Amino acid sequence: MLTPEESQLLTLTGPGTPGGDLWRRFWVPAMLPGELPEPDCPPVRLRLLGEDLIAFRDTSGQMGLVANNCPHRGASLFFGRNEEHGLRCVYHGWKFDLTGACIDMPNEPAESNFKSKVHITAYPCREAGGMIWAYLGPKESAPPLPDLEFNLVDEPHRFVSKIQVECNWLQALEGDIDNSHAPFVHGRIGGTPDMPFMERVRIGGGIGLPNENRNPLSRYFPFDTAPRGYVHDIDGGITMGWRRNTDIPDTYFWQVNHWLMPSFALIASTPGTTIQCNARVPRDDTTSWFFRIRWNAFEPLSQVELDAFKAGGGLFPKLIPGTFRPVENMENDYQIDRKAQREWSVTGIQSVTQQDRAVTETMGPIYDRTKEHLGTSDVAIIQMRRRMMRETRALMEGHEPAAPNLPDAYRIRPVAVLLDPQTNFLTGAMEHIKPALK
């Protein structure tokens, strides 16, 4: 469990907080390109790291983020006119470019130089990996974008979605690196109702993903529901090796995942197939953005995969039109189907994403971690928290984090493999972990 002070260090990311200062040393996913589809398109409201911002794409197609409120009298720039390389406040006509400079002040005398003295808070944006990234930190220390593999592949190899999650970023991320939850939250059950629950889970086999999205080795999740976790610090975060017994003599199933600072969980599949990254970004302290990226470095995503992703359900839920909120949500109990829960689904909730949200959002906006009781299956959560607290405290003492300026540290791939008991999982998986992409 954590102390209240430790919990605040990890969960609070608004301006001026120690955790917020750490987050602001990294580029973070902020939007999908489709939210700003063309030059001079309507501006968009965005809440990110506790700041209310306005995103816009100027006449040249460049993107930027500026503070919501005009520095003159505080009107929202959401209502601004996006025109001729700037965003014009409709209250008095003050106009700002991507850098936050005031470039026109038509309600002041023509001879006035007042506009040269006025700036609005502005943050740079870049497009990569099917997302718009933002950097909210000190301008003098802006790092390069991380070399995450999905940032390096061509567009046909990648699919990205975004939803709003109604809880703090940390409890959502902790679900991503909690390997033992899969056969329960995402589990299928079989057999007959009079059988013990765990026997029914093992008979059900695999996890509750559509066939086209399912890792063929996922049948070992219910086969061994108490994986042994091994965690190693790496430059960008931690590598997690999860070992499960199999029904093959002298063979372990290993899932080698990674957490990369501050928000990326890379989740394994078999070599050469489509793999996944979950990116959790604080919207504010009680809500978060969830970007799910599926990519295949070796070949374009198949039409079967793309059709499944776009149809909703499975990994990519249907959204309420005009929002990033899923149709299945806390207000309707994630449309739980109790009949399905009795007959074939552990949770009775249709979508994998909503199965996760049902257990993380209902903890409350920020779970009280002074009440938790962690076990051996929580080794990755413990290590991740320690790393984040260590880096945050170091920054408080004036030591900048190294990871943002090590883009190559993010060029790492998760993998699921079968290995004999004598082979170290890192040695056995290494040829698959390091991508060759430049």
CA distances from 353 to 112, 120, 229 (A): 55, 38, 23
What sign does the dihedral 348-350-351-352 (CA atoms) show? positive
Question: In this structure, what DSSP letter does residue 259 have?
Answer: E
Mean of the pLDDT values across residues 137-159?
94
Interval 119-127 mean pLDDT: 97
pLDDT recorded at residue 210 = 45
| pLDDT for res 365 | 97
What tokens does 136 get? 């909210």
Counting residues of the chain whose pLDDT is more than 90, the rounded percentage is: 78
3-state helix, strand, coil in the chain (%, to 5): 30, 25, 45
What does the pLDDT read at residue 438?
Answer: 42
* For residue 60, pLDDT beyond 50: yes
What is the average pLDDT across 280-309?
94
pLDDT for 107 beyond 90: yes
- CB of 326 within 8 A of CB of 351? yes
DSSP secondary-structure letter at 288?
Answer: E
**pLDDT tens, residue by residue, 390-416:** 999 999 999 999 999 999 999 999 999
pTM for this model (two decimals): 0.94
**Which region among 178-182, 280-284, 361-365 has the lowest average model confidence (pLDDT)?**
178-182
So what's the pLDDT on residue 194? 86
Spatial separation of the C-alpha atoms in residues 398 and 275, rounded to whole Å: 37
| Range name among 20-34, 118-132, 182-196, 356-370 with the lowest pLDDT average | 182-196
Among 52-61, 246-255, 307-316, 358-367, which is the least confidently predicted range?
A: 307-316
Residues 6+ apart with CB under 8 A from 307: none
Tokens representing 69 are 């409120």
How many degrees, rounded to 5, is the angle at CA 156 between CA 152 and CA 158? Answer: 60
- Binned at pLDDT 50, 70 and 90, residue 216 comes out as low
Strand partners, 276: 267, 294
Give the residue, 212 or 253, on which the prediction is more confident. 253
Range from 135-149, 159-173, 191-205, 263-277 carrying the lowest mean pLDDT: 191-205
Q: What is the model's pLDDT at position 212? A: 42
Q: Which residue has the higher pLDDT, 325 or 309?
A: 325
Q: Given this model, what pLDDT does residue 351 score?
A: 84
Region 178-184: mean pLDDT is: 91
Residue with tokens 């720039």, as numbered in its chain: 77
* Mean pLDDT, rounded, for 69-78: 96
- Is 39 strand, coil or helix? coil
The 10s digit of each residue's pLDDT in 375-397 is 999 999 999 999 999 999 999 99
Domain ranges of the chain: 28-134, 149-433
Which pLDDT score is estimated for 248? 92
Count the neighbouring beta carbons within 10 Å of the beta carbon of residue 57: 25
How far apart are the C-alpha atoms of 275 and 269, rounded to whole Å?
6
Confidence of residue 206 (pLDDT cuts 50, 70, 90): low
Confidence class for position 211, pLDDT limits 50, 70, 90: very low
**Closest C-alpha among 148, 161, 193, 125 to residue 326:** 161
Are 44 and 68 within 8 A, CB to CB?
Answer: no
The rounded distance, in Å, linking the Cα atoms of 285 and 365 is 8
> Which two tokens mark 226?
């108490």
Residues 6+ apart with CB under 8 A from 178: 377, 378, 380, 381
pLDDT averaged over every residue in the chain = 92
Q: Read off the pLDDT of each residue in 105-111 and give the average, rounded to a whole number.
A: 92
Phi, psi at 289, each rounded to 5°: -95, 140
Higher pLDDT, 170 or 192: 170
Q: Is the pLDDT of residue 126 over 90?
A: yes
- pLDDT higher than threshold 80 for residue 187: yes
User: Exposed e or buried b for every residue in 166-185, given b needs 16+ CB within 10 A?
Assistant: bbbbbbbbbbbbbbbbbbbb
Q: Note the residue count of the chain.
A: 438
* Angle CA 123–125–130, to nearest 5: 150
- Which of 57, 58, 65, 61 lies closest to 24 in space, CA to CA? 65
Residue 294 has pLDDT above 60, yes or no: yes
**pLDDT, average across residues 29-56:** 98
| pLDDT over threshold 90, residue 229 | yes
For residues 314-329, give the mean pLDDT. Answer: 89
Task: Say if residue 262 is preceded by a cis peptide, omega within 30 of 0.
Answer: yes
**Beta strand extents in 68-207 (DSSP E only):** 81-83, 86-88, 95-96, 102-104, 122-128, 131-134, 158-165
pLDDT class of 144 with cuts at 50, 70, 90: very high
Name the CATH superfamily, with its identifier, for domain 149-433. Answer: Naphthalene 1,2-dioxygenase Alpha Subunit; Chain A, domain 1 (3.90.380.10)
CATH class of 28-134: mainly beta
Residues 6+ apart with CB under 8 A from 327: 317, 318, 319, 320, 335
Q: How far is CA 84 from the centre of its chain?
A: 34
Q: For residue 416, how many C-alpha atoms fall within 13 Å in the half-sphere facing its CB?
A: 21
